[in-house]
Structure 1
Amino acid sequence: MTPPVVRPAAGSLAATFLDLPARSPGGSVELFLDLYTGHRPLIPARAFMLAPTGPRPTLPPGLDLLAVSGKCLGGVGFSRYVGALRRALVTAISPGQIGVLHLQHLTFGATPALLRALPAHPRIALVHGTDLIFAEAHREQLQVLRETARAADAIVVPTSAMADHLLKLAPRVDRRKLVRIPWGIPDRLLTGPPTRPARTSTSQLRVLYAGRLTAEKGVERLVASLAHIPGVELSIAAPRAQFHALAPLLQRTGLRAQYLGWLRRPQLWKAFAEHDVLAIPSTTLEAMGLVALEAQACGLPVMYQPVPGLSEVLATSGVSTDFTHPATLGRDLDRLRTAAGLLPALRQAGYANAACYPLSATAQALVDLGRQFT
């Protein structure tokens, strides 16, 4: 079933800008591309990312690149960077085309640049997990977050946990601005998930980690714990440079991990269907955990650290565990391997949970919200 397409009227495009180079890894990037790009975008928009260094990548239809350098997080350099982004946006965008701003992140340079380039348009801010992480770690980004929250007409949070965390960082935010709209996964994945091949052996539990290998994702403690647990095969789908940085830890612990590469979406969905459980050992809040929902849509049970966001989205449709405690993790993995009917039951519960989050519903909710201000 093809998701509904929102048809734009004159002057009703969204203007949106993700302050990352094209082809960057991460769930926020995938969500951005899913919503705003393609031959039939769910949200018609002028959508921008940064031009990466090196050869120009193949772009999805509807994505424009801005060749602006100097990205940073604070000081005089940050002000110069925002100014350069603003000038690039003013050149690229005709204000009469735009009905509303979709501010990706409350922090980073693209958001203040878009606000300054189009100061008269309604503003909807979308909160992602990295906003809050960087605002906690960088004083100037905390200031940007608070200024964006004040300037926005509405602030979209995907989970209640994200709203709670935002209010801790910006307690003066008008709570009436907060709107909960869950992120979603592609409708085509829900209607046509990959086929799961039949297992010929169940002696080893095939565990998959998929995502970036940054500190807050908790992969180091996953590796340290799995090194003490027999009967487990670990596969990792991650950016190549980040996997290479993990290699010394793998060598020290003696844990062998199969590296799958940084997989494109259809390849990742196929990998989901070829494993027994997805491990999500995140150490801090997750905005939504889209990779978990995509795994569930593919029939892959999810084992997760019960951090804010994940606990809300997954609840009992996944298995919460403690990745910092090898005995606890080993017990829970062994239960998956040996308890009759548990994996099939988790596959069924996971798919039912993922089906609650179609991307078309996310897009329609954002469009409906924008119409309140235009």
Structure 2
Amino acid sequence: MNLSVVTALDLPFPSPGGSVELFLDLYTGRSPLLPARAFMLAPEHRGLRAAAPTGLDLVQAPGKCLTGYAFRRYVTTLQRALVDAVDPGEVGVLHLQHLAFGATPALLRAFPKRPRIALVHGTDLLFAETHPEQLATLREAAWAADVIVVPTGAMADRLLLLAPDAHRRKVEKIPWGIPDRLIASPPPRRRHQSSSHLRILYAGRLTPEKGFDTLLSALPLTQSAELSVAAPRAEFHALRPRLHRHGVHVRYLGWLRRPQLWRTFADHDVLVMPSMTLEAMGLVALEAQACGLPVLYQPVPGLTEALGTTGLATDFADPHAVARAIDRLRANPGLVSALRAAGVTNAARYPLSATVAALAELGRRLA
């Protein structure tokens, strides 16, 4: 009998976000890096359904929510769906994802006697700080886990503030990684005629903690920037009134799948990361660096540790500081070249194969 990892994200497939991309990188595909039974939710609306990648199972567990009796009922529904889908005798180790949400308690209750590795994502900590139910769920998961994996020291510190009963000795730092094939063979940068404008790219969710509005405040202060946005369509449409209010023109690229995004990096001069609270690690920034795209970022926990001086840090809370950084990059090709070289070297420190090897070794230790 082949024992395997069992893991789940209680998000409907397809959902945007770095943790989803990492999940799919690790556990799905014809030859998954970590052999697993990997689950996400089947969309409740038929019109939103998309073909799942090989190795990803979609479960029917309607009623996803965050609080109260409805949350507990939803966890029970998801627990039953997982029990129906997996023979308990085939479960080697649980990989708990999104510790503050429903899939983690559902897995713990569905397979109560299996070893547990908890993987902490930024969303877990951000929600636990502001939602009592998510804080209680996070603390339960941290207490129940045999090992708690964090990608950066900053994530460990924040976790232990929220869940002080979780012993630091259980915490293992394993940086998230980017695909080895991207590090080895990034898309070629395209040659462009010289321009008077810096081609800026924002790629990611447009939720409040990502700090996009602070970027909008800075752009009118410089005449040397063109902004492109790759983001979920609904989130971008909700942004339109604010774009109009700031008088900012944006080229919308859609929500790009990974190979599309990597090719898009080659068409721009800098990626901006204006996150104002916390990033688990900032995988999109590392992917941009691997493609030779410099990163202009807010030095928040997680990003500071992953990028350091290989990116250009600035204070996105100060629109004038952001405008000065943009003008500096536009006027200083030597700085851009130095950041490109430093970024490529930095990204090579984080191959996904190293993440996989460390997680697999943890599983062997617990089996």
TM-score (norm 1): 0.96
The unaligned stretches of length 5 or more in structure 1 are 1-9
- Alpha-carbon offset, residue 252 of structure 1: 0.9
Asked if structure 2 preserves the Cα contact closer than 8 Å seen for 1:185 and 1:357, the reply is yes
- Alpha-carbon offset, residue 326 of structure 1: 2.0
Instruction: Report what 1:309 is aligned to.
Output: 302
Quote the sequence identity (%): 65
- Alpha-carbon offset, residue 199 of structure 1: 2.1
Instruction: Report what 2:46 is aligned to.
Output: 54
Instruction: Report what 1:242 is aligned to.
Output: 235
Instruction: Report what 1:290 is aligned to.
Output: 283
Q: Say what the alpha-carbon RMSD is for the aligned residues.
A: 0.8
Q: CA deviation digits over 1:307-330, x for unaligned, max 9?
A: 000000000000000112122112
Q: CA deviation digits over 1:109-131, x for unaligned, max 9?
A: 00000011111100000000000
Q: CA deviation digits over 1:9-66, x for unaligned, max 9?
A: x433100001100110000000000000000000000000000122431111000001
1:165 equivalent in alignment to 2:158: yes
What pairs up with 1:1-374 in 2 under 5 angstroms?
A: 10-52=1-43, 53-55=45-47, 56-374=49-367
Q: CA deviation digits over 1:165-190, x for unaligned, max 9?
A: 00110112111100000000011101
Secondary structure of the corresponding residue to residue 183 of structure 1: coil
Secondary structure of the corresponding residue to residue 292 of structure 2: coil
Hey, what's the Cα distance between the residues in 1 that align with 2:132 and 2:119?
20
* Greater shift in the superposed pair: 71-80 or 195-204: 195-204
- Alpha-carbon offset, residue 345 of structure 1: 1.1
Hey, what's the Cα distance between the residues in 2 that align with 1:201 and 1:254?
25
- Alpha-carbon offset, residue 355 of structure 1: 0.4
Asked if structure 1 preserves the Cα contact closer than 8 Å seen for 2:231 and 2:254, the reply is yes
The unaligned stretches of length 5 or more in structure 2 are none
Hey, what's the Cα distance between the residues in 2 that align with 1:113 and 1:331?
49
Secondary structure of the corresponding residue to residue 275 of structure 1: coil
1:196 alignment partner AA = R
TM-score (norm 2): 0.98
Hey, what's the Cα distance between the residues in 2 that align with 1:242 and 1:338?
33
Stretches of 4+ aligned residues off by more than 4 angstroms: none
